[in-house]
Structure 1
Amino acid sequence: MHRTLARAAFRRGPLPCVQRALVPAAFVAAAAGLGRPALAADWYTGAEPAGARDAWIVSVDTAATVSSQGSQFAGATATAAPAGTLQTSGLRLRADTLIGSYRTGTGLGQQAEAAAMIGYGWVWPEAVLSAFVGLNVRRNEMPGLEASVRNAGGLKAALDVYARPTDGTMVHATGTYASTFNAYYGRVRGGVAVMGGFLGPEVAVLGDDYYRQWRVGAHWSAFQFGALQVGIAAGYLHDQTRKGGLYTTVDMRAGF
């Protein structure tokens, strides 16, 4: 028996330090199924009954994260299927922007990034795999950082897999890397169906030439709020500058 998976992701690109934690890197893929009612799913909102609204060619994802460490960020990502829809294997185009601030040992750091990427989504009945590569530019301001290296551009790559082993479970893993500041980000989430969505644990690691952080928390994904799909996550974080703290992330997705 098969089912349809349709997912859209954020992304958030591999920004230095705290910013990438709040907006994970993400991707869009979809699969067509036969033999039973279709489901639409993504890595942070889970599953909802599929319909005409899920035959998207563009998805827009936004995210905002705050932490007790003094960081706050917001980002938006648009992913498009130029030939076909996001429910079928094929070419993907992605653009994202991010802006935010975070605390360092010597003061306030600020950063902003824009990225453009091209990729491909492979779709199977029970899983989707997406890969992207492209260019990014970033401005990173922090105490002690020389003006000559505050603005940087380079290559960016990302890989994402989403699977539904059973109707009541999901697994998602994503990773990104950028040559600018050697920034990296990885996040793994799992969940079981609860109250129309998925509830489960998440872990994340991130860092760059100037910062490192890890997170452990829980997410509840897959509840509908009007025309939007909404997800929320919260938990414990630890960074090299301010040590332990708490974080909260809110994700939203819309499609066209």
Structure 2
Amino acid sequence: MPAGIKCDLHLHSNFSDGKLSIAEIVDLYGSQGFGAIAITDHLCEKNNLIGKVSHGLSYSLSKETFAEYIQTLRKEAERAWLLYDMLVIPGFEITKNSFINHRSAHILILGIEEFIQPELSVEEILEIAKSKGALTIAAHPFHTGDFEFQTFYLWSRREKLKHLIDAWEMNYRKKMVPEVLNSGLPVIANSDLHHLGHFNSWKSKIYTEKTQKAVFDAIRRQRIDFFLDSNTPTQYAPTGVLFTQDFHREKTSTP
């Protein structure tokens, strides 16, 4: 089996509500020895008050900024590969926020460069993404413990939607959620990074070759373990190996 590669597939840049540029994220993760990351800036719907405010504050991608976003991702992906031997996967986070938690859903769409209308229904978005070969991840589908919009739509409909969702986030940064971890559904750990302080988080180690297709296949087949980064880098230059605490999930069968 190939050596595990460190991954974090839920990262936000200043194209939405993140503090770092895509280039700074690449240097941060490249300097820490990661093998694959995904940039997943928010793509908020515009048909409700919360979405309109998010767009007004430039906390969301839009149809007008999407092409520049993809172009920047391509450029930085090439640099990341040449400089750090790190795979950068294009992505975005469909963001449906509501004052009613059970109507809210955040969906990571990875591996495609085509705009998907966020005003479509959750089911339509997932079906379109899957038809284009995307990897779909349910982002923090539980109560995060923070004062923010909670996203219960996907988890409350998991039996209906599980064939359209490739993996479910089982952590919120340093908080692990046993209900998701032990659900029998495919799981993943990401940081949901918006600023440097979020780097200290559970993340994933994936056992596969370093290609987008191989990473996606490994996640779907759960060739995966988890680790906790316990230090926060203070700069984007190489700083040596971070201390990590490994977490190995019990596997009942070989993927």
TM-score by length of 1: 0.34
Larger proportion of strand: 1
Larger proportion of helix: 2
